Amino acid sequence: MKIFVKKGKLQDIKSQAVILALFQDQKELTGTALLIDQACKGLITEFINNGDFTGKPSQISVIYTRGAIPAQRITLVGLGKKSEINLEKIRTAFSKVMQHLRSLNIKEAATSIDLNMLSEKEDKIVQAVVEGAILGLYQYTAYKTVGREDIREMEQFNIIAEGEKYSVVESAVKIARIIAGGVYLARDLISAPSNEMTPSVMAQKAGEIARRKNVTCKVLDRAKMKKMEMNALLGVASGSNEEPRFIILEYSGSSKSAAPVVLVGKGLTFDSGGISIKPAEKMDEMKSDMSGGAAVMATIMVAADLRLPLNIIGLIPATENMPSGTAYKPGDILKSYSGKTIEIVNTDAEGRLILADALAYASKYKPVAIIDVATLTGACIIALGDDLIGMLGTDEKLKSEINKAARTTGEFVWELPLWESYSELIKSDIADYKNSGGRAASTITAAAFLSKFVGDFPWVHLDIAGPAWCGKDKSYIPKGASGVAVRLLTEYLRNCTHK
Ligand code: BES
Ligand code: MN
Ligand code: ZN
């Protein structure tokens, strides 16, 4: 969908549908809505007074203008009560109205954004409108060959800004498009089936991101990893015929000497569980076990496109986890890249193994912060549900910065305790650690395990097992891959540069 920012007034614009977002308890129309209502001889007022439209969240009414204004239709969308408005409600309203217009086979819509809608900064409001509109329209159609002619697509979204607000709106729209583009990339990578989205294809996609200015990509193959003794990652990869890859994306937006932020993303392109094989039900969804890696790749792309003034490293260990005659087995002991030894008690606890090597590798950058993102534990879904990201870490400041970014983006995090006592559960009798502490508190013991491989740097672990994959449509996240953490990481990184 193309997005244009145009100078002018919405009531003068020729459009298939102009969108007006209205509050539920709005007694009288104001601003653009009032001007359009007057031009249409009270059409909107009549609609509201007769109770057809109340403005409750995401309620939609489409009204024909019959030539009263150049636009063919007025589309009202409810924002809910003014006292309860927030960025998330704006994103939701605009995703819903765009989805509705697309279902009517409308190709173009126009709106003007009320920049006083809530007390947030004006650019955040514009960003929410555009992100909501774009993100809600996502559809993954690459493998549909039958009935392609029925696929509907919105082609154009025009945002009409008054003269003096034009530059604020234009720059916020540009930022929102870049960020939403990152979410689309992550969703595409995750939605692709694992027979196509292999570790080598992920590496290839990373190479494409690195065609940008200031981004480089290095890829380690099995032989190189062997030389470097990344045996935890290699252990997981040993059961698969797919070659593993360790992907290193480097974005330099600041001076060479500036210590970077390191982002680490779990890149399990398919998690069968290995010898400790998973049940068949929903195993297909385990193609999404590279959601963390996809989020990290997309975030690096976004950071480069936004030209953020800081250095960022993305580390994505990528492999399949498969059972076979060469697969690693329960009881095996692996010597990780850090030198620490790990007893395997469950081959399905593979994410922490590949992350262990990547987190240890991160030390070489002497980073200001390390954030890892992973679909790490089913227990996180049991504890927090499908919507929340589990957050654990060692640095209070970093945790609070991520929490702040989470509240802005609506990609909410909830902290779980990472107390010393949990480390007892992952002690091994014969090696340094074991890779599973059993069922109790397994999101926490997984993080405790990771902590053993992080050097002395501020670190936060984000368990995205819940929100990475949506079983049903959620406002601006259509069913399937959500692309979660791209907006969260981007917001965190943008805030880093405002200090
Ligand atoms: N990738 C899974 C976690 C997962 C499960 C993510 C369901 C999304 C949905 C991970 O590798 C895994 O299998 N974890 C095990 C760990 C256990 C064996 C200690 C789990 O959570 O059951
Ligand atoms: Mn697993
Ligand atoms: Zn996994």
pLDDT in tens, 12-63: 999 999 999 999 988 899 999 999 999 999 999 999 999 999 999 989 999 9
- Has residue 176 been placed in a domain? no
pLDDT at 115: 84
Buried b (16+ CB within 10 A) or exposed e, 102-136: beeebebbbbbbbbebbebeebbbbbbbbbbbbbb
Residue 206 · residue 247 · CB < 8 Å: yes
Q: How confident is the model over 312-367, as pLDDT tens digits?
A: 999 999 999 999 999 999 999 999 999 999 999 999 999 999 999 999 999 999 99
Query: How close is the Cα of 261 to the center of ligand 3, in Å?
Result: 24
Pocket test for ligand 1, best of 377, 384, 444 (most atoms within 8 A of CB): 377
Whether 463 lines ligand 1, by a CB cut-off of 6 Å, is: no
- Has residue 177 been placed in a domain? no
Query: How close is the Cα of 289 to the center of ligand 2, in Å?
Result: 8
Q: Are residues 42 and 111 both part of a single domain?
A: yes
The DSSP H or E segment spanning 282 is: none
Q: What is the mean pLDDT of residues 209-222?
A: 98
Residue 80 has pLDDT above 80, yes or no: yes
pLDDT at 498: 58
Q: Are residues 157 and 204 both part of a single domain?
A: no
Q: How confident is the model over 229-239, as pLDDT tens digits?
A: 999 999 999 99
Q: Are residues 248 and 112 both part of a single domain?
A: no
**CATH classification of the domain holding 121:** 3.40.220.10
> Domain total for the chain?
2
Whether 379 lines ligand 1, by a CB cut-off of 6 Å, is: yes
- Has residue 172 been placed in a domain? no
**CATH classification of the domain holding 245:** 3.40.630.10
Q: Cα–chain-centroid distance for residue 149?
A: 29
Residue 152 annotated in active site:
no
Q: What is the mean pLDDT of residues 245-259?
A: 98
- Has residue 25 been placed in a domain? yes
From CA 53, how far away is CA 51, in angstroms rounded?
A: 5
- Has residue 379 been placed in a domain? yes
Whether 289 lines ligand 1, by a CB cut-off of 6 Å, is: yes
Q: What is the mean pLDDT of residues 457-463?
A: 98
Whether 348 lines ligand 1, by a CB cut-off of 6 Å, is: yes
Q: Tell me the C-alpha to C-alpha distance, in Å, between residue 299 and each of 88, 209, 237.
A: 21, 10, 25
pLDDT at 461: 99
Residue 279 · residue 389 · CB < 8 Å: no
pLDDT at 499: 52
Q: Are residues 30 and 91 both part of a single domain?
A: yes
Ligand closest to CA 283: 1
Q: Are residues 156 and 202 both part of a single domain?
A: no
Q: Are residues 434 and 311 both part of a single domain?
A: yes
Pocket test for ligand 1, best of 322, 342, 348 (most atoms within 8 A of CB): 348
Mean residue pLDDT across the chain: 97
- Has residue 74 been placed in a domain? yes
Query: How close is the Cα of 316 to the center of ligand 2, in Å?
Result: 17
Q: Are residues 205 and 127 both part of a single domain?
A: no
Q: Are residues 7 and 74 both part of a single domain?
A: yes
Whether 346 lines ligand 1, by a CB cut-off of 6 Å, is: yes
73-78 and 60-64 as β-strands: parallel, antiparallel, unpaired? antiparallel
Whether 465 lines ligand 1, by a CB cut-off of 6 Å, is: yes
Which residues are CB-neighbours of 20 under 8 A, at least 6 positions away?
Answer: 32, 33, 36, 44, 74, 75, 76, 77, 111
CA geometry: angle 391, 397, 399, nearest 5 deg: 10
Q: Are residues 217 and 251 both part of a single domain?
A: yes
Token pair 């880093």: residue: 496
Taking the CA of residue 285 as reference, the ligand 1 atom at the shortest distance is: 9
The DSSP H or E segment spanning 279 is: none
Q: How confident is the model over 465-478, as pLDDT tens digits?
A: 999 999 999 999 99
CA geometry: angle 498, 217, 287, nearest 5 deg: 95
What pLDDT band is residue 164 in, cutting at 50, 70 and 90? confident
Q: Are residues 379 and 470 both part of a single domain?
A: yes
* Structure tokens belonging to residue 90: 């704006």
Residue ID of nearest Cα to ligand 1 atom 7: 378
Residue 278 annotated in active site:
yes
The DSSP string of 157-222 is EEEEE-GGGHHHHHHHHHHHHHHHHHHHHHHHHHHS-TTTS-HHHHHHHHHHHTTSTTEEEEEE-H
Residue 479 · residue 191 · CB < 8 Å: no
- Has residue 65 been placed in a domain? yes
The DSSP H or E segment spanning 52 is: none
pLDDT at 162: 86
Question: Which residue, 130, 162, 194, sits at the end of a domain?
Answer: 162
DSSP helix/strand/coil, 13: coil
The DSSP string of 331-358 is T-EEE-TTS-EEE-S-TT--HHHHHHHH
pTM score > 0.95 for this model?
yes
Residue 156: which domain range? 2-162
Q: Which residues pair with 2 in a beta bridge?
A: 156
Whether 349 lines ligand 1, by a CB cut-off of 6 Å, is: yes
459-463 and 433-434 as β-strands: parallel, antiparallel, unpaired? unpaired
Q: Are residues 88 and 225 both part of a single domain?
A: no
- Has residue 89 been placed in a domain? yes
Backbone angles phi, psi at 313, to 5 degrees: -110, 135
Query: How close is the Cα of 375 to the center of ligand 2, in Å?
Result: 9
pLDDT at 427: 98
pLDDT at 117: 81
Catalytic-role residue among 6, 152, 278, 340: 278
Q: Are residues 156 and 258 both part of a single domain?
A: no
Question: Which residue, 116, 134, 162, sits at the end of a domain?
Answer: 162
Question: Which residue, 127, 162, 197, sits at the end of a domain?
Answer: 162
Residue 2 has pLDDT above 70, yes or no: yes
